Amino acid sequence: MIIYLEDAKQFETLIEKGTVLIDFYADWCGPCRMLGPVLDDIASLRPDVTILKIDVDTFGAIAQQFSIFSIPTLKLMKNGLPVATKTGYVAKEPLLRFIDGK
Question: Thinking of the domain 2-99, which architecture would CATH place it in?
Answer: 3-Layer(aba) Sandwich (3.40)
- Measured CA to CA, the distance from residue 60 to residue 12 in angstroms comes to 15
Query: Per-domain residue ranges for the chain?
Result: 2-99
Return the active site residues. Answer: 29, 32
Where is 56: in which H helix or E strand?
none
Q: For residue range 24-69, what is the model confidence (pLDDT) as tens digits?
A: 999 999 999 999 999 999 999 999 999 999 999 999 999 999 999 9
The whole model's pTM is what? 0.94
